[in-house]
Structure 1
Amino acid sequence: MEFIFRSGDISDSSSGTLSREAMNAGSRIHRKLQKRAGSHYNSEVPLRYTEELGGHLITVEGRADGIIDRCGGEQEEPGDIDDGFDMAEGYAVDFHDSDVLIDEIKGIYRNLDDMESPQRVHVAQAMCYAYIYSKENNYSWIDVRISYVNLDSEKEKFFRRRYSFGYLEKWFRSMMAELCKWIDLVEKHQLMRNQSISDMEFPFEYRKGQKEMALYVYRAIEQEKHLYVQAPTGIGKTMAAVYPSIKSMVQGHVSKIFYLTAKTIAHTVSRNAVELLEDRGLRLKTVILTAKEKICCQEQVDCNPAVCPYAEGHFDRVNDALYDVVLHETVVDRDVVIRYAQAHRVCPFELSLDVSLFADMVICDYNYVFDPRASLKRFFAAEGGKPGDYVFLVDEAHNLVDRASSMYSAEIVKEDFLELKKLTAQYGGRMARHIGSCNRELLTMKKEIPEEGYRVLSSIAPLHLKLLSLHEAIQLFLEEHRQIPERKEVLNFYFNLTSFLNIAEMMDENYVVYDEIRDDGRFVVRLYCVKPAVNIRNCLDKGLATVFFSATILPVRYYMEMLSDCPEDRAIYIPSPFSAENRKIMIANDVTTRYTNRNEAMYRNIYSYIERVISARPGNYMVFFPSYAMLEKVHVLTEELPESLGVEVIAQEQYMTESDRESFLRAFEEKDNVLALCIMGGIFSEGIDLTGDRLIGAIIVGPGLPQVCTERKLMMDYFDSRTTADEKEAASDRNGFRYAYQYPGINKVFQAAGRVIRTETDQGIILLIDERFATRRYTELFPVEWNDSVICNMQNVDGILEQFWDYKSKEI
């Protein structure tokens, strides 16, 4: 019913509901109305009907909120019968004058005074129950009532109609015919898809390590396990993950694949893999989800139906648009969605989400599965029950730790309350009082902040209660003020508050709650998710199996603990297929980049290493720095590079547009003597593919430790407090330091180093500048392939470089 009979507008405030709060309130309202209905009222009545139609055996079932039946199987002649489906003249009634009645109860936040008729989908749901019950009992007529209750005020409004069985049967047949149209569309595609998968072979010869990875992925899906894969760039990780996942569809293990990425640019890789298989006969439906801000047809994103023609009446037209897309397209990307959305005048973002229902593969950002604010509720909202037949392929999985921590954290800012109060002062009322109450509570908390500028809180119960009251007040305010100029700002505050309250319900021992006065003077209360594994695992439980894969997921135990923390999870390490003779890894142990040792002499030492490297062999190089401050210091020194070297120096800037990034990378295509100064962990340290002589060296300055901040301190304390005595004695560093600083830092190093060798014929050098890289606490984290790294210093680096490049020249 929800799918076939949806209608009306997209609401700009539809995502601001506290899901658990709304469910609990709805259940309470149901129980209240059912309890007072009297002895003839039967609650939660299961109804089920099965028939064969169009070659399908279809079962329609549900649970009616309430049924009154005073007939006992003997029904008198009906009064007036209203066979009209138009409910525009709805009216409030008492149900005691009905001999047979189906009651459908809906708890909503909408202002009931504005409702002139019930929603079409609610009527359809009740009519479906009415048809089944009438058929079971051989009744010639039946009453249907839609009972609306406002979840805040508990005000009630009722709509009732009487239907003949003949009309209900005609309506039911029409509904079933519409349903069969969609079932036929799906089944026809699945038959073609499965046949094409059965005939599908791997699109090229397996590379070294690729077949092994594909086999492990297939087994993980078959056994419904989570798998972590550390595999070097160049073996074809994407195809090794996608191919066995698609093959599992025809075996009946998998109904849908979610290919999850951290960055939009990574969508291209997975899309190319699918299209390569389609060129060889595969019939697959794939949708690539694009963020609302990037796919909206309007100049500004505003989902208010009063100002957006695509939001107004969207649900009246969307099924025609959806059928059109699914019938005619195989790969549905941003351009395809916009074309159909404009043709049918529907919201392109919502249309793309609907297409995902019919897609075999959904390529999207992490947040569509893991973020409670943005996850695809149509797949993942149900609590408990059987998981879906979904496989999650998590690309560049090393990015998920920080992303997930952010997804499951939330904060409120005191100054935002003051801004909201000023913004809505002219309207006064209940909301203004609750804003003032919350602000006073925050002010009290702010006065208790110690000199350190932050403190860990054991509870925020008083504030939490005030925020809940404010949330209800804002809901009412938004219902009463639909056209005010301040609506967008109020909505933004409302959504953030909703997120904060929802995260507060999720908190467990993996959270730290703290308040802080930030450097800009703002006072913040933050719910910080230190370890997101439990929340991520709850999402993974919605599917069958997950494959986390990356070229840099070391140490794998750290990622396994942070992302799923399940003893049954498995991990494999795919060795690099590339010859170690094609690259040289050097560690400069006569330079330290520790913050306390940073001075002009250190910067000059770094510059000296850069000059020696590019002098040994002309070509394109990247230098990765831990901060813009250090980059700028060394950038100034590169002005001393001899003109005879003919080097062009380019530097990454803090705020680069898309065209700036393209221009930066184009230099490696068009020139053969470029020195690029970049930021470790930045946009150029991963996701770019400079093969051949487009890049012949990477110089990495420092171990990439994150900057010291409140949350890194809290993370360090969190894991230190959970380190056992035996672990403390065995470890050279505290677990807290490793988890908060060392592991995230070394991953940035691995990512930067991975820019150099991308294919079997690539050649190049990797220079790690910092004496810490030569210590055991870092070398024990190195990939197996780095066991041939050499120590260098100012005295021998020239010789090492010369020997390597001379050897490669003779080989050529």
Structure 2
Amino acid sequence: MRQIIRKAAVVSRKGSKQTENEKGRISAGDKVELIRVSVRNLVEFILRSGDIDNRRGTVADKDAMQMGSRLHRKIQGRMGADYHAEVPLKTEIDYETFLLVVEGRADGIFKEQEKYVIDEIKGVFRDVERMEEADPIHLAQAKCYACIYAGQRNLEEIGVQMTYANLDTEEIRRFHYTYTKAELESWFEELTAAYRKWAQMQLEWKHARKDSIGKTVFPYPYREGQKDLAAAVYRTIWHGKKLFIQAPTGVGKTLSTVFPAVQAVGQDLGDKIFYLTAKTITRTVAEEAFTLLKKQGLHYKVLTLTAKEKICFCGEPDCNPEKCPYAKGHFDRVNDAVFELLTEYEENPGNYNRDRIMEQAQKWQVCPFEMALDVSLWSDAIICDYNYVFDPQAKLKRFFSEGVKGDYLFLIDEAHNLVERGREMYSATLYKEDFLDVKRFLKPYSRKAVAALERGNKYLLEWKRECEEYTLLSNIDTFALNLFNVSHALEQILEDRESIMNRPSGDGETEEAKKKTLDFYFQVRAFLDIYEEIDDSYEIYVQHDRDGRFALRLYCIHTADKLGQCLEKGRAAILFSATLLPVQYYMELLSGEKDDYAVYAKSTFDPARKKVLLGLDVSTKYTRRTTAEFRKIASYIQQVTEAKAGNYLVFFPSYKMMTDVKEYFDELKNPETEVIEQSTHMTEAQREEFLDQFQERETGMLVGFCVMGGIFGEGIDLKKNRLIGAIVVGPGLPQVCNEREILKQYYDRRNMDGFDHAYRYPGMNKVMQSAGRVIRTDEDTGVIVLLDERFGQQQYRSSFPREWADYETCTLNNVKEKLTAFWNQNFK
């Protein structure tokens, strides 16, 4: 048996910092290095087996593992003075070229009848009385602690107590085991030996990675200001802070953030980069940035995470072995699939994009989404959506669960989107109608569930009778208490293999009702999770939705604390966008820390190749939306587009106004002008077809009518003469609705200008994004025309970027003259 060096004897000598011995290189005399793995990650990774199966409460149980700290403390507090809670344990295994450090915290250690016992507490949603034995993975975790502790105390025998507690009812079930030190050490040796090849691979890779980083330089000559921007990113990482970057198009912000982040990893200032984005196209740009650096010899494993719905081989995810062949036996094959993928670097140098993940998953007949999550553990950079870091329901628990931190570097692209996305992620909604639908379906099968659902419906009915448009609620504790009962009753049904939820019916209507019931269960769980986090950043309200349903909503308005807690899981965060103005607004909502940094990256484009005009003699105010005003806006569009042949986009605040103005523009346009318009719910193919029509032309006009904040309002890249002008109609203010008014009142009560927060700043961001479609490269020339009297007001102009400082005003009578003079310049 390999020597196991007991950490209890080592800690006092070494302290918490690595010694020079620990910092050495592989095979460098007596110098060895540390590879750390938590007990939980070790057992879950090595010992898992069998199928993916979502038919029972196991998915909820995974979340429960992360949630039960409060109940843990409650149980620990009842165990008496001789019960030692949260005991840190470590052991080192000497593999000659490195030390494998296995560490974790035992939930409890106590002595019972002269025998020491390791207590492992697990919070679950399932009915603990139905449990026949401990989960093998949970038990393995406790056995690791027992092995380490028995070795440290030289105990010939040690007990293990598995304590399961239902998070809703707080019912407890315990299972007891006894092991000898010899059998635990033999078992533990086999477990760690299976992990050795992974640790060896990780160590060798990190040396190759670090060596390659030292040889990697910026792939292009720096543009003006780009070097300063990269330096600011590096300094922020060095200091472990957050940096907000207003970076106009053309600055090269992706490469200017990725390169210094990689360099910081090479200097041991970080270990894993998370590149976060809201849109697919910006993920592609991030992939290209890493590829540029790899062409210089950078060794870097880059994973792009794709949503389960988009990567599933079955079309619609139904993760159980009876429906999906990739779910059956997935855990028996996935580790081999991942190891092969990670070690074939020369054939496919660490580019784990969607296609490569699907190819490997198909080869090994495993779930591509779950395999990608495993690949993330060994990746140097992860390109993914915001929700994998921030969303409490979707975040990567292996990196961001309670008590877990790392040297993560967060690069957050298009950070302006994170304000509204954050509000969505930390809010939750339940509908009265769903209570009735699920109750009707379950009536023949579960009195307990039906009774709890009926009580929940009565609460909602009472609020509905008193509600005209919306009503703020100060307290929903009694409703939430009943909701725990709903959750528990549904969990029992899901756990029961003989229940209607787990029996095939062959009836399409029944199967649809089962799916809706399962979805409702997860909505209830998500609602309760959010309810546990309620603080003064929330408003609770009920309202009649436009579709006729009655909703109860937990609305997270001020997201800074929630987002900040997630970012604290890493070392540093860089938030950047072309429209992060006013920057104080975004710093307030995305961080709230007063010592954060902010920089304004100077545009590298020639300002003479751009013309910004403000048409202040029209208005899009609701009181001015008349036929005469629509005709005037249509005339503006005609005058702007006739100043030069080419392609234009016109952005409107709503589909209704777009349709109204187009009717009059169709009457005014000349025969050479072609008009296309955005429609609701466009497919990916329809979107591509729309954009494909924007090709360079010498004669004629193409005018695309779009909606601000829609699919064409940001993230599209029509370079050179594919787009020569953008006309933005109105300041983009969100439509007045209950949620916006609640948001406005929230900030007004705090003397923080509710109108700015609810309407002006979100609206002007859409304006900036729409206008930003025009100038994409230093070879582009184009015009931006903003139509609305409010653009003349300082409150709106304060959101203009510095590059618009040379704007001019115009009227319908002289706009064509001004633009003709601009186009007649000799642009080189």
TM value normalised by structure 1: 0.89
Match of 2:385 among 345, 365, 377: 365
CA separation in 2, counterparts of 1:137 and 1:795? 91
CA separation in 2, counterparts of 1:113 and 1:374? 29
CA separation in 2, counterparts of 1:696 and 1:454? 45
Give runs of aligned pairs for residues 326-725 of structure 1, distance below 5 A. 326-329=342-345, 330-383=350-403, 387-449=405-467, 451=468, 453-480=469-496, 481=499, 482-484=501-503, 485=511, 486-644=513-671, 646-669=672-695, 673-723=701-751
CA shift, 1:204, in A, is: 0.5
CA shift, 1:750, in A, is: 0.9
CA shift, 1:285, in A, is: 0.6
Q: Give yes or no for the alignment of 1:158 onto 2:175.
A: yes
Give the superposed CA RMSD.
2.5
Partner of 2:60: 16
Asked whether the equivalents of residues 84 and 110 of structure 2 are also in contact (C-alpha less than 8 Å), the reply is: yes
Q: Deviations over 1:193-249 (max 9, x none)?
A: 101100000001111221111111111101111111111101211000100000001
2:550 maps to amino acid: F
Give runs of aligned pairs for residues 245-256 of structure 1, distance below 5 A. 245-256=261-272
Q: 1:143 to 1:546 in 2, by over 3 A?
A: closer
Asked whether the equivalents of residues 720 and 779 of structure 2 are also in contact (C-alpha less than 8 Å), the reply is: yes
Q: 1:170 to 1:58 in 2, by over 3 A?
A: same
Partner of 2:274: 258
CA separation in 2, counterparts of 1:588 and 1:787? 16
Q: Deviations over 1:713-757 (max 9, x none)?
A: 111111111117xxxxxxxxxx11111111111111111111111
Q: 1:717 to 1:697 in 2, by over 3 A?
A: same
CA shift, 1:306, in A, is: 3.8
Asked whether the equivalents of residues 309 and 315 of structure 2 are also in contact (C-alpha less than 8 Å), the reply is: no
2:46 maps to amino acid: I
CA shift, 1:785, in A, is: 1.9
CA shift, 1:149, in A, is: 5.7
CA separation in 2, counterparts of 1:307 and 1:244? 46
Match of 2:816 among 785, 791, 798: 798
2:563 maps to amino acid: I
2:673 maps to amino acid: V
2:361 maps to amino acid: A
Q: 1:108 to 1:229 in 2, by over 3 A?
A: closer
CA shift, 1:308, in A, is: 2.7
2:705 maps to amino acid: L
Asked whether the equivalents of residues 72 and 121 of structure 2 are also in contact (C-alpha less than 8 Å), the reply is: no
Partner of 2:94: 52
CA separation in 1, counterparts of 2:542 and 2:258? 44
Find the residue that maps to 1:807 and give its secondary structure: coil
Q: Deviations over 1:663-702 (max 9, x none)?
A: 1111112655311111111111211111111111111111
Q: Which region of structure 1 is more displaced relative to structure 2, 231-240 or 114-123?
A: 114-123
Find the residue that maps to 2:437 and give its secondary structure: helix
1:25 maps to amino acid: L
Give runs of aligned pairs for residues 32-47 of structure 1, distance below 5 A. 34=79, 47=89
Q: 1:782 to 1:413 in 2, by over 3 A?
A: same
Match of 2:766 among 743, 748, 766: 748
CA shift, 1:442, in A, is: 1.0
Find the residue that maps to 1:576 and give its secondary structure: coil
1:531 maps to amino acid: H
Q: 1:115 to 1:518 in 2, by over 3 A?
A: closer
CA shift, 1:541, in A, is: 0.9
Q: Deviations over 1:299-326 (max 9, x none)?
A: 3211234433333343333222222222
Find the residue that maps to 1:16 and give its secondary structure: helix
Partner of 2:27: none
Q: Deviations over 1:365-388 (max 9, x none)?
A: 0111111111111111124x7x42
Asked whether the equivalents of residues 648 and 675 of structure 1 are also in contact (C-alpha less than 8 Å), the reply is: yes
1:459 maps to amino acid: N
Asked whether the equivalents of residues 118 and 159 of structure 1 are also in contact (C-alpha less than 8 Å), the reply is: no
CA separation in 2, counterparts of 1:254 and 1:42? 34
Asked whether the equivalents of residues 740 and 758 of structure 2 are also in contact (C-alpha less than 8 Å), the reply is: yes
Q: 1:397 to 1:99 in 2, by over 3 A?
A: closer
CA shift, 1:139, in A, is: 5.7
Asked whether the equivalents of residues 478 and 487 of structure 1 are also in contact (C-alpha less than 8 Å), the reply is: no
Q: Give yes or no for the alignment of 1:267 onto 2:283.
A: yes
Q: Deviations over 1:595-617 (max 9, x none)?
A: 11111111111111111112111
Partner of 1:301: 317
Find the residue that maps to 1:317 and give its secondary structure: helix
CA separation in 2, counterparts of 1:131 and 1:746? 61
Asked whether the equivalents of residues 127 and 491 of structure 2 are also in contact (C-alpha less than 8 Å), the reply is: no
Q: Deviations over 1:496-535 (max 9, x none)?
A: 1111111112122121111112233211111111111111
Asked whether the equivalents of residues 7 and 121 of structure 1 are also in contact (C-alpha less than 8 Å), the reply is: no
CA separation in 1, counterparts of 2:154 and 2:321? 44
Q: Which region of structure 1 is more displaced relative to structure 2, 532-541 or 22-31?
A: 22-31
CA shift, 1:172, in A, is: 2.6
CA separation in 2, counterparts of 1:775 and 1:132? 69
2:198 maps to amino acid: W
Asked whether the equivalents of residues 582 and 798 of structure 2 are also in contact (C-alpha less than 8 Å), the reply is: no
2:546 maps to amino acid: D
CA separation in 1, counterparts of 2:722 and 2:314? 40
Q: 1:604 to 1:57 in 2, by over 3 A?
A: same
**Sequence identity percentage:** 46
CA separation in 1, counterparts of 2:475 and 2:84? 43
TM value normalised by structure 2: 0.87
Q: 1:419 to 1:613 in 2, by over 3 A?
A: same
Partner of 2:256: 240
Q: 1:150 to 1:706 in 2, by over 3 A?
A: closer
1:445 maps to amino acid: W
CA separation in 2, counterparts of 1:781 and 1:138? 68
CA shift, 1:287, in A, is: 0.7
CA shift, 1:622, in A, is: 0.8
CA shift, 1:634, in A, is: 2.0
Give runs of aligned pairs for residues 52-71 of structure 1, distance below 5 A. 52-64=94-106
Find the residue that maps to 1:620 and give its secondary structure: strand
Q: 1:164 to 1:22 in 2, by over 3 A?
A: closer
For structure 2, list consecutive stretches of 5 or more residues without a partner in the other structure. Answer: 1-42, 504-510
Find the residue that maps to 2:576 and give its secondary structure: strand
Q: 1:111 to 1:513 in 2, by over 3 A?
A: closer
Q: Deviations over 1:277-300 (max 9, x none)?
A: 111111001110111111112132
Asked whether the equivalents of residues 408 and 572 of structure 2 are also in contact (C-alpha less than 8 Å), the reply is: yes
CA separation in 2, counterparts of 1:472 and 1:120? 24
Asked whether the equivalents of residues 646 and 696 of structure 2 are also in contact (C-alpha less than 8 Å), the reply is: no
Asked whether the equivalents of residues 47 and 133 of structure 1 are also in contact (C-alpha less than 8 Å), the reply is: yes
1:723 maps to amino acid: N
CA shift, 1:122, in A, is: 3.0
CA separation in 2, counterparts of 1:28 and 1:241? 45
CA shift, 1:262, in A, is: 0.9
CA shift, 1:116, in A, is: 5.5
For structure 1, list consecutive stretches of 5 or more residues without a partner in the other structure. Answer: 71-95, 725-734
Q: 1:773 to 1:126 in 2, by over 3 A?
A: closer
